[in-house]
Each structure stands twice: as structure tokens, then as C-alpha cells.
């Protein structure tokens, strides 16, 4: 069975991020943008990250410019924005495509039941969240408008 732990992605600061190191942890993957109405969710993402043990939970963010051109910056500009405006400390990946013909393989895994074995999903906008369990299996897709610190997410992490 395919799992998140089989993948790697380019880190925003260079190098590869190996998702196999997240075995045994719950993971939230989120596509982000710096000029979106939901950009303030970076604050709640960081709050959640700071208030949850790294031993059990991880957040991984993927900048994407595919919705409304709301992430036009370079990887360096995005990293600086996240660090200075929101003091982001969770892992940021290099900018990718989350939909369409150039969709990154991790987002193919997250959105296609034929790959993930559980559900089909469509990434509809920035700050859509995917919850992945300790075994690397997709559990749920959470819409952009749901805050990262919503009860349904916090209860899942702590459950």
C-alpha cells in the first residue's frame, strides 16, 4: 500500500525532505500562499505547531501559486515572509503545483484514491489541509475555511 512515507520533496531552503522520517507521527499537509485571504492561518498553524509535541505531530506546508496567483514570490521570498511575518518554524517545502498536469507526486497521493487507497479529493484553494495518520495514510481533507486550531483538527491530533 502506498503511504506518505514513500515520498520526498524539495525543502524551501534546499535539500530533500524525506517523509519516511515522519513514520509514527500524525501529519497535516497544507498548501499555502502569502497573499491570500487565508494567509493569517499561518498564525494558527504556528500556534498549533508550538502547542503540539514533535514526537507525535508534524505540519508540512507547500507554497503554491495556482489559486489566484497569490504566491508569486520566489522560494527565498516566501521563506523570508513566513519567518518575519509569522515566525514560522514548521517545515516549508519549495513552491509546487498542487493541481493540474504538473501536480507534485505528494499531491497526487493526497488526492487520488487510486494511489492513496482511501479517498479522492480536489484541492480547491489555498490553505486546504490534509490529515495523514501515523502509518502515512490519508485520513481526511479539511477545507480552506476551517482554521488549523479548529476542534475537529485538535481532537484528531490528540485522539
pLDDT of residue 1: 73
Say whether pLDDT at 84 is over 80.
yes
For residues 31 and 150, give the distance between their C-alpha atoms in angstroms, rounded to a whole number. 17
**Phi, psi of 117, rounded to the nearest 5 degrees:** 75, 0
List the domains of the chain with CATH numbers.
4-158 (3.40.30.10)
Q: Taking a C-beta distance cutoff of 8 angstroms, is the pair 22, 32 a contact?
A: no
Geometric angle at alpha carbon 18, from 43 and 90, rounded to 5°? 15
pTM of the model: 0.96
The closest of 104, 63, 57 to 80, measured between CA atoms, is 63
Tell me: the pLDDT tens digits for 106-155? 999 999 999 999 999 999 999 999 999 999 999 999 999 999 999 999 99
Residues assigned a catalytic role: 36
Tell me: the pLDDT tens digits for 96-108? 999 999 999 999 9
Say whether pLDDT at 13 is over 90.
yes
Burial of 159 (0-12, 13-18, 19+ CB in 10 A): exposed
Amino acid at each position: 500500500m502506498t503511504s506518505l512515507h514513500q515520498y520526498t520533496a524539495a525543502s524551501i531552503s534546499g535539500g530533500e525532505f524525506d517523509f519516511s522520517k515522519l513514520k509514527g507521527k500524525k501529519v497535516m499537509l497544507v498548501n499555502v500562499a502569502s497573499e491570500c485571504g487565508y494567509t493569517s492561518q499561518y498564525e494558527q498553524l504556528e500556534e498549533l505547531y508550538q502547542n503540539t509535541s514533535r514526537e507525535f505531530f508534524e505540519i508540512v506546508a507547500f507554497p503554491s501559486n495556482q489559486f489566484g496567483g497569490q504566491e508569486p514570490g520566489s522560494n527565498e521570498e516566501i521563506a523570508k515572509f513566513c519567518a518575519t511575518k509569522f515566525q514560522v518554524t514548521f517545515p516549508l517545502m519549495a513552491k509546487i503545483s498542487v493541481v493540474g498536469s504538473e501536480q507534485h507526486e505528494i499531491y497526487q497521493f493526497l488526492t487520488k484514491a487510486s494511489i492513496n487507497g482511501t479517498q479522492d479529493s480536489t484541492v480547491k484553494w489555498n490553505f486546504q489541509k490534509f490529515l495523514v495518520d501515523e502509518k502515512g495514510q490519508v485520513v481526511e481533507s479539511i477545507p480552506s475555511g476551517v482554521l488549523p486550531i479548529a476542534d475537529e483538527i485538535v481532537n484528531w491530533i490528540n485522539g
